[in-house]
Chain A
């Protein structure tokens, strides 16, 4: 989902940066608040960032014959809320833009919006929704992480379609092209991300009960 450096027209690059900036600022505010209010969850916060670090570094082959990577932002969004993942996801993207020439500074705003804003918010919203209608923790986590991942790539496709409308098919035609590259490739990867996120949450519910309770992800009850 990395839009490469310089591959968005300047007006688009500026617009996406402006759209993403308030989300990043809100993420910083949320991070400080959580660390102050629940200092005992600091290490879990770092671990959630680490999960995103690992998953976004692994390029996995897909059924389309190309490779892409998961995002890992769903876990932290479920645990700490989406704002915090905006900040952590931005750090991951900045690391990749500066040291790996993956993504870029001019496209950072757009990439932050897809991976660190839409992904975490979709994951968080879906998690709340599925839990609200009585879905089990595992099902809610799976759907949240998988669709958070997929939504990131759909947004990337839309961003590129808006910047590069097809001469014949317009934005819709272009969206179909970029969607075929990104979104279709991402489907099995999104499922993988969903499965792995459930694994981590399973581990957390066994060993980190007190932290999950203080984040009110689990009701206070005898294990």
Chain B
């Protein structure tokens, strides 16, 4: 695995609470969750840069909602 670097992250209380809730629900450490979130974000950003759109689809109604990325 590639060499790793350490950083300090400043989060507000609600942001930290959201991070901790997600970590608990997904059974992941904060580092793992943020690494996976970065991959997902970068993967979506690449598709959006290529002019593609990212959708969520309701499995029953098949209704699609476009995901807005900041």
The answer to whether A and B come from one shared complex is no
